[in-house]
Amino acid sequence: MKPSSQTIFSTVDQNITYIQDALFHTDDLKIRHHFYKDMPAALVYLESLVDPILVERNIIAPLRLKEADNLSELFTTMHLEVHERLEDGIQGLMQGYCLYFVKGKPVFYTLTAPANYDRSITEPENEAIIRGAHNGFIENLTVNLFLLRQQISVPDLTVKYFNIGNTAPRRVAMIYMHNLTEQELVQKVEKRLKSISLDAIMSAGFIQELIEDNPHSIFPQHLNTERPDHTGAYLMDGHVVMMLEGDPTALIVPVSFFAFYQTPDDYNNRWMIASFVRFIRLLSFITAFQLPAFYIAIVSFHSDVLPIQLFFTVQGSLTRVPYPPLMEAMLLELIFEFLREAGLRLPSRVGQTIGIVGGLVIGDAIVKAGFVSYTMIIVVAMTAISSFLIPSNEMSSAIRILRFPLMIAASLFGFIGISFGLTILFIHLCKLESFGKPYLFPVAPLKMKNFKDAFMRFPIWRIRKKADGSPK
């Protein structure tokens, strides 16, 4: 877009022609001519962005009924600005403003009458909880900020807007608690947001990928949530939240690995139950990507670790399978991934079919046909269930991918291969940072105090004493 400093013309028609040219004669640009105090005047707006009722009530009605010397006092819109540069007017049109020109005045007026077609505030479907607030962010940034402000009504809650995108800028809000957040962190986020140079930001995922510390890592370094209560809790812990206009996702930074294993539900449950559930989730981290590898290592290298009774059961089910365990595992994992992806895209009414195809046809027939063994089905099913225990979808996908390299390592070198794979993985995790904060936080660097809210969920009065060194 060429920057231009064209100021207002003396006649209304000239102004209108200029705007029409700038918008390439788009058809939804509406112009309403009339006379104000016998002077030709015009109201210009984009039909698709304004609410006709508001225009009628706040702009047209006052113009008809009254006459005043000062137009600024006449209009009853929420917002009114006076501009000279036509370029500002064009920007305003894009955001749902109406422009009012009167012949002979050296300025024009921008008046708000934005259309609102938002969906209602509903609970996010993939983040449903049992107890607690059942609201969720929507595609309107103002409403989302309203939800946060409603929760945290203190002046310390600070919002900063950025317009990101060179061709089609979109508003991004950076939200933080002024008194709780490290200034360094705020500056870092601000700097990274400003450094984005892209034509257009299509979704929150764009921001995420452009500003994270290590885009080549498989692990997510932002926590995504559509829950205001979840976001609010992180704000109160001194994290920075980013939200994109038109996207219901809040991006929270910095996060540690363990944040992906926590849900708001944990804090609504009794602490012992919450601790148990959290422990199970962390256990699922291990089973979700190591179980197939472990199984492959056992049946191809270390059969001696099996108890004797199990030995024969496994052997019996393996005898009819014609290829190596890795192939068997890969085949079944791929079938499972197919089913999962297919189930995701199908409408829920057809979705049941997938259950039948996956569960009955493939599950049973594939063994009877001798493609895979029963034990492999058990292993893959266990793995699949474990991977869905993880509350965060990104983490769950990351873990699902991780098992393939580990499976190969296991089939190459057995248990030693797994150990090497895990060593590499943990080296990577230890090195990883989310906005300068260590990703594996209470574990590396080790801070026993913070274990209270990482592996377990201690009673709230024990956690809330701000343990030092927490990613505040």
Can you give the binding site for other proteins, defined by CB under 8 A? 298-301, 303-304, 306, 308, 311-319, 321, 324-327, 330, 374, 408, 411-414
Distance CA 118, CA 138 (A): 8
Query: Is the CB of 69 or the CB of 304 nearer to other proteins?
Result: 304
Distance CA 461, CA 250 (A): 27
Residue 351 beta carbon to other proteins: minimum distance, rounded to whole angstroms? 31
Distance CA 234, CA 178 (A): 13
CA 142 to chain centre: 17
Angle between helices 393-413 and 325-345 (to 10 degrees): 170
Query: Is the CB of 214 or the CB of 317 nearer to other proteins?
Result: 317
Distance CA 387, CA 381 (A): 10
Instruction: Please give the structure tokens belonging to residue 331.
Output: 């085949």
Distance CA 395, CA 379 (A): 20
Q: For residue 287, which of 443, 432, 396, 417 has the smallest C-alpha distance? A: 396
Query: Is the CB of 59 or the CB of 314 nearer to other proteins?
Result: 314
Query: Is the CB of 409 or the CB of 432 nearer to other proteins?
Result: 409
Residue 381 beta carbon to other proteins: minimum distance, rounded to whole angstroms? 16
Query: Is the CB of 308 or the CB of 448 nearer to other proteins?
Result: 308
Residue 318 beta carbon to other proteins: minimum distance, rounded to whole angstroms? 4
Is residue 329 within 8 A of residue 380, CB to CB? The reply is yes
Q: What are phi and psi of 267, to 5 degrees?
A: -90, -5
Instruction: Please give the structure tokens belonging to residue 250.
Output: 């809040």
Residue 382 beta carbon to other proteins: minimum distance, rounded to whole angstroms? 18
Residue 320: half-sphere exposure toward Cβ, Cα within 13 Å: 14
Residue 400 beta carbon to other proteins: minimum distance, rounded to whole angstroms? 18
Is residue 206 within 8 A of residue 247, CB to CB? The reply is no
Query: Is the CB of 121 or the CB of 412 nearer to other proteins?
Result: 412
Q: Which helix (H) or strand (E) holds 225?
A: strand 223-225
Query: Is the CB of 87 or the CB of 333 nearer to other proteins?
Result: 333
Query: Is the CB of 106 or the CB of 307 nearer to other proteins?
Result: 307
Query: Is the CB of 328 or the CB of 394 nearer to other proteins?
Result: 328
Is residue 102 within 8 A of residue 36, CB to CB? The reply is yes
Written as one string, the DSSP assignment of 414-459 is: THHHHHHHHHHHHHHHHH-EETTEETTTTTTTT-GGGGGGTTS---
Instruction: Please give the structure tokens belonging to residue 397.
Output: 């996908």
Is residue 411 within 8 A of residue 324, CB to CB? The reply is yes
